[in-house]
Amino acid sequence: MKALQMYIDGKWTKSSNARTIDVKNPSSGETIATIPRGTEEDVNRAVLAAKAAFHGEDWRKVKAFERGEMLFAIADKIKLHRDELAELESTDVGKPLSQAYSDVDAAIRYFRFYGGAADKVMGDTIPIEDGLLNYVVREPVGVTAHIIPWNYPLQIISRSVAAAIATGNTVVVKSAEDTPLTATRLTEFFEKLDLPAGVFNHVTGIGHEAGAALAGHPLINHVTFTGSVGTGIAVGQAAMANVVPSTLELGGKSPNIVFADSDIEKTVEGVVRSIIQNAGQTCSAGARLLVEESFKQEFLEKVIERFSKLTVGAGMQDKDLGPILNEKQYQHVMGMIELANEEGNVLTGGKPVTVGGYEGGFYVQPTIIDGVSWNSRLAQEEIFGPVLNVFSFKDTGEALELANSTDYGLVTGIWTKDLNTAHYLASRIDSGQVFINNYGAGGGVQMPFGGYKKSGFGREKGWAALYNYTVLKNVAIKYN
């Protein structure tokens, strides 16, 4: 077991009150590390260090292309330690090892993408009149806060921190108390860079303590948060109290819309993969299956057959599904399955799973639910587990109505060979991303990611995310 520390102002440190939090392996329930239980005082030290670094001449003198080279160096470091990081992520989150490798590879791509973009964030000139030179520049916002969820820690740190540093900001990361291992290892990579102290800071602690202190700190200039709607509202309100912008990615209840003319084998695989990724503990999970009524029985039989072949095990065993993160989340998932037994039909799964040698973990069979109302809690709320809700539709209009029938709007999958139908739905569905005859597009680090409605606002990933971390300045020069 390792006693990890925070990284503030270029130094490793314990919390100001010396309290710690146990970090557990979801696959076994065993304690694998301790982290400092960061306080408001610790957060304040980190923010002050980041503020001083941002205004310091050492950081201002770093050229844009040099910031890019630093991000390339982090990408190289991640690649060099690819095996170690994948094992850490699998152990810490519980996800299958192969999925953890995909997360590491995505992290490499984020740092490379934003490393290449660092010297390409351009300004503009605006023609006003003769004798007036008017130009617009994008400047860094200042100190950026990054509050990271537990389900994809390495990926989500990489996508926001890389964009923030590429544009010249300084950062304070608050990692999830459940899954801090890869965040700490990434911090060690940043420590090896020739960065001024305070440019990169990493605090640990409980969300409603350290996370809340960070979101509401008056010297923060932008907050990026991924998590639940309730916590996201609190984070957004805390930031707005200081008139600070925030980027909020708050989850989803994403549909796969399947038509009778779809390629059945590819569609089955896409639908299944979209709900079992990270044991369904992902905001973009394809949690609702909407199937054309005439095709429903045939398609469901294929999906149920595919579910019956899925394997469940510890993260490092690299089965199809790993464990649920902890007992609290496990009880929530099982409670929703119990509700499904009352309101509808559990077609397959729905039972706890015992994994030999890992009896301390929380495992659930992948589950398919049918027969519940479109406005049931099961259809409206995130379950955050490997649970698929099934509905049917008669025509495209009903499919559209069902797709838009939740408070979320993050991701949608459309499966059909009819491009007229696909384009029609894509133009009318309230969803930040629409995938046609695929789901996820290999992670797509270049593709802007974010949602409509209660899925949040702002966009991460891709070029659009760079603008989160810049502020426009207009300069007008009068000359004779």
Cβ-count burial 46-67 (b if 16+ within 10 Å, e if not): bbbbbbbbbeeeebeebeeeeb
pLDDT value, residue 194: 86
Q: Which residue has the tokens 């006003």?
A: 128
Query: Which among 428, 376, 424, 379 is positioned nearest to 401, based on CA atoms?
Result: 428
Classify residue 461 by burial, with Cβ atoms within 10 Å: 0-12, 13-18, 19+.
buried
Show pLDDT as tens, one digit a residue, over the chain (480 residues): 799 999 999 999 999 999 999 999 999 999 999 999 999 999 999 999 999 999 999 999 999 999 999 999 999 999 999 999 999 999 999 999 999 999 999 999 999 999 999 999 999 999 999 999 999 999 999 999 999 999 999 999 999 999 999 999 999 999 999 999 999 999 999 999 989 999 999 999 999 999 999 999 999 999 999 999 999 999 999 999 999 999 999 999 999 999 999 999 999 999 999 999 999 999 999 999 999 999 999 999 999 999 999 999 999 999 999 999 999 999 999 999 999 999 999 999 999 999 999 999 999 999 999 999 999 999 999 999 999 999 999 999 999 999 999 999 999 999 999 999 999 999 999 999 999 999 987 678 999 999 999 999 999 999 999 999 999 999 999 998
Q: Is the dihedral of CA 206, 209, 212, 213 positive or negative?
A: negative
The answer to whether residues 136 and 123 touch, using CB atoms and an 8 Å cutoff, is yes
**CA gap 375, 389 in Å, rounded:** 12
Helix (H) or strand (E) holding 57: helix 57-60
> DSSP state, 330?
H
DSSP character for 195? P
Alpha helices in 208-314, H assignment, sequence order = 212-215, 229-240, 264-276, 296-308
Coil, helix or strand for 216?
coil
Instruction: For residue 160, give the amino acid letter.
Output: S
321, 279 Cβ separation under 8 angstroms: yes
The tokens describing 280, both together, are 């369904």
What is the spatial distance between Cα 430 and Cα 219, in angstroms, rounded to a whole number?
A: 35
Which sign does the torsion angle of CA 194, 113, 283, 272 carry? negative
Which is it for the CA torsion 180, 146, 208, 220, positive or negative? positive
Q: Which two tokens stand for residue 207?
A: 């969300």
Q: What's residue 442's pLDDT? A: 65
Query: Are 134 and 123 in contact, with CB atoms under 8 Å apart?
Result: no
Asked about 460 being catalytic, the answer comes back as no
DSSP per residue, 229-245: HHHHHHHHHHHHTTT--
Residues ≥6 apart with Cβ < 8 Å to 80: none
Give the single-character DSSP code of 60.
H
Q: ∠ at Cα 43 (143, 72), nearest 5°?
A: 45
CB 369 within 8 A of CB 345: yes
Q: Which of 249, 292, 382, 460 is catalytic?
A: 249
Report the phi/psi class of residue 2: left, alpha or beta, with left for phi > 0 and alpha for psi in -120 to 50.
beta
Q: Are strands 288-292 and 222-226 parallel, antiparallel or unpaired?
A: unpaired
Is the Cβ–Cβ distance between 19 and 36 less than 8 Å? yes
**Domains in the chain and their CATH numbers?**
2-250+458-476 (3.40.605.10), 255-443 (3.40.309.10)
Q: How far apart are CA 269 and CA 102, in angstroms?
A: 18
